[in-house]
Amino acid sequence: MSERLGQLDLVFVVDNTGSMGPYIEATKTKILEIIRTIKKEELCHRLRVGLVSYRDHPPQEESYVTKKYELTSETSKIEENVKEMLAFGGGDGPEAVDTALHVANRMEYLRESAKIMVLIGDAPPHGVESSGAWTQGSPDGKNWQDEAKIAFEKGIVIHTVGCFPEIAGYENAVKVYEQIAKNTEGNFFPLTKAELLVKIITGVAVEEIDKIAIQQSILEEMKISMDEFSADEDISESTIAELTSKMRSRGFTKRAVKHAPSVAGAAPESVSIESEEVTEKDVREALRQLKRKSA
């Protein structure tokens, strides 16, 4: 495995307003467990974690809009940063989601790292609801759609966690969280239990690590190293299909987070990690990431 492939940058983007207390406390108490679990993965040669805490713009919230804690591999520093989070305030309903994504997009990511952003919140950005302040959009001009596009172009996968029941009280909040995830090849997770957040975060991390394994497998099938892979290489659809078929024939699988939401009359909410076959979509995305890393 190339050392250039085994690097993982993980950024938490967390709503720090009053209603987020249970989710913030779950992250605080379990952050070391999350880090240790990810570090046990054989393909993860280097893990760095960063954090963006956000609230809202003044005069809705006077404490702060965002706080950025840069990516670091120092476990004690990560723990210290997470412990500084505090659920407080918030003003009107929508929060500074757009600005938080903007700040997170501009963290000091390693070019060759796999990049994950986990957005955790219970309120929409400004401009997507008919009520609240700044119904035309964030007062600083930042836009969640633009930021999702920037993240995708940088190779950042955004997974979004919508915290219930608060997020369901808005007309468009869930749709926005779903769209942010979809536009960056991530997933949306609706949660009602704070303790499941740990499984979500560790789950999306191992998903990303398996994407690294797919990239390595592609290089092996092409009989080239990471240094020899060209960003200008034109890979045909027939080659993608062939690569996928070869991986499947070798029994190559990936792990994926499965989420069963809690609804009336159904099983309790749960999160599990299950094995799945590699698809042509997986191979196509792995090639896109390889090209980005080689550019």
277-287 pLDDT, tens per residue?
A: 999 999 999 99
- Positive or negative torsion for Cα 103, 135, 164, 63: positive
> pLDDT digit string (tens) for 221-237?
999 988 888 888 789 99
Q: 188-191 and 156-163: which strand pairing? A: parallel
Tell me 244's DSSP state: H
Which pLDDT value is given to residue 88?
A: 92
Q: What H or E segment, with its residue span, contains residue 275? A: strand 270-277
Q: Residue 16: is it exposed, middle or buried by C-beta count within 10 angstroms (0-12/13-18/19+)?
A: buried
Q: How far from the centroid of its chain's Cα atoms is residue 273's Cα? A: 16
For residue 2, pLDDT over 60 is answered with: no
Phi-psi group of 127: left, alpha or beta (phi > 0 → left; psi -120 to 50 → alpha; rest → beta): left
Confidence of residue 263 (pLDDT cuts 50, 70, 90): low
> pLDDT digit string (tens) for 24-40?
998 889 998 999 999 99
Task: Confirm or reject CATH 3.40.50.410 for domain 7-198, answering yes or no.
Answer: yes
> pLDDT digit string (tens) for 246-255?
999 999 999 9
For residue 162, pLDDT over 50 is answered with: yes
Tell me the C-alpha distance between 54 and 86, whole Å: 10
CB 101 within 8 A of CB 151: yes
pTM equals 0.92
Domain range annotation of the chain: 7-198, 208-294
Tell me the C-alpha distance between 26 and 196, whole Å: 9
Confidence of residue 267 (pLDDT cuts 50, 70, 90): very low
- Closest by CA position to 221, among listed 292, 287, 291, 275: 287
Retrieve residue 153's tokens.
């172009």
Tell me the C-alpha distance between 121 and 173, whole Å: 10
User: What is the rounded average pLDDT for all residues in the chain?
Assistant: 91
